[in-house]
Chains A and B, each alone.
Chain A
Amino acid sequence: MTSAQVLFYTFSFFLVASSLIMIFAKNAAKAVLFLVLAFFSVAGLWILLEAEFLAITLILVYVGAVMVLFLFVIKMLNIDKSTLRARFAGYLPLGLIVAAIIIAEMTMVLGHEQFGLNIYPAPENASADYSNITVLALQLYTDYVYPFELAAVLLLIAIIAAIALVHRPEQNRKKQDISEQVSVSAKDRVRIVSIAKENKEVKK
């Protein structure tokens, strides 16, 4: 076995194992952590496929931002004890049957006869000065610049939508009203009270 094969089967094992643990986990936080492990394995596979930029993006964006967002929501909603226990275990056999059929069909379609090394030979390893980011950027800023800007607009819409959804209207908020502050006069604020003078001397 070459070192690439050792890496491939190691990453594949961790990917499949952590995915299985994730879908059967009773605790949602545990599921998120095993999904993080699955994403790390996927990133390793992508580096084997010489897609370094996307692998690092997967770790930075997915593990660093999206999974942490999941953890935040799980901890905020406090669902660990309420709804997670009840699960539709009755659908497990049906799901397993469907999955087994799909995997069997896919293995027949995607086998070595159709997609093996003699049909699609492995490409040469990239040279040491090959830059995946440069190659991607050259395409992204020329041929795909319009979808790239659309993606930016999509992210902006997602920000606005997320804030608009969970933003609470103001209630009991201490807020300044400038015109009211300016138009106030001294009579409204200060009251001069005249107090009768007391004649008693303070004893020493």
Chain B
Amino acid sequence: MISLSDYLILSSIIFCIGLVGIFINRKNIITLLMCVELILAAVNTNFIAFSHFLGNEAGQIFVFFILTVAAAEVAIGLAILTLMFRNRGSIDIDITSSLKG
């Protein structure tokens, strides 16, 4: 049978793959957003695995809300990206340093 730790280790591997993706794709905001989606999928798998093995549906409810928030985040993030491309003609992260922060 598949144990809880199998699911937890699998989702930690996926989490780390998303993290490495953020490290190596720092120039490209679209890929950054996709890596965040991957990390969220790993976290949701954790929630559902615990919900299944502990017999408590609250974890699935939590995943439901995480999916809602992630969809809203992607919609607004891509809108900001479109706006940035329209104003600057590029979505390179290097040219977004006009605030000198």
Q: A112 to B49, Cβ gap below 8 A? A: no
Given the complex, which residues of A lie within 8 Å of B80, measured CB to CB? 165
Interface of A, helix, strand, loop or mixed by DSSP: helix
Q: Could you tell me the distance in whole angstroms from the C-beta of A70 to the nearest C-beta in chain B?
A: 7
A184 at the interface (CB under 8 A from B): no
Interface residues on A, range: 35 or more
* Chain A residues near B6 (CB-CB < 8 A): 8
Q: Are B19 and A102 in contact (CB under 8 A)?
A: yes
B56-79 CB mask vs A (1 if < 8 Å, else 0) is 011011011101111110111011
Among candidates B16, B27, B72, residue contacting A158 with C-beta atoms closer than 8 Å: B72
Q: A5 to chain B: closest CB distance in Å? A: 6
* B21: A residues at CB distance < 8 A: 19, 22-23
B72 touches A157 (CB 8 A): yes
Chain B: CB-nearest residue to A5: B2
| A181 and B58 alpha carbons, distance in the complex (Å) | 61
Inter-subunit contact B26/A140 (CB<8 Å): no
Q: A46-64 interface mask toward B, CB cutoff 8 Å, 1 = contact, 0 = none? A: 1011110110011001100
Task: Give the complex CA separation of A15 and B83 in angstroms.
Answer: 33
Taking A39-B41, A87-B25 as contacts, is the C-beta distance between A122 and B61 under 8 angstroms? Answer: no
Closest Cβ of chain A: how far from B40's Cβ, in Å? Answer: 10
Given contacts A23-B25, A111-B5, A166-B83, 16 further A-B contacts (CB under 8 A): A4-B1, A16-B13, A19-B18, A51-B48, A54-B60, A70-B33, A70-B34, A79-B91, A83-B90, A92-B23, A112-B5, A116-B4, A122-B3, A155-B68, A158-B71, A166-B86
Residues of B within 8 A of A (CB): 1-10, 12-28, 30-31, 33-35, 37-38, 41, 44-45, 48-49, 51-55, 57-58, 60-61, 63-65, 67-72, 74-76, 78-83, 85-86, 90-92
29 A-B pairs with C-beta separation under 8 A: A4-B2, A16-B17, A23-B25, A35-B38, A45-B10, A51-B60, A51-B63, A58-B41, A58-B67, A62-B71, A65-B71, A70-B74, A70-B78, A73-B78, A77-B91, A79-B28, A79-B30, A82-B90, A92-B24, A95-B22, A102-B12, A102-B16, A106-B9, A116-B3, A120-B3, A123-B52, A154-B68, A154-B69, A166-B82
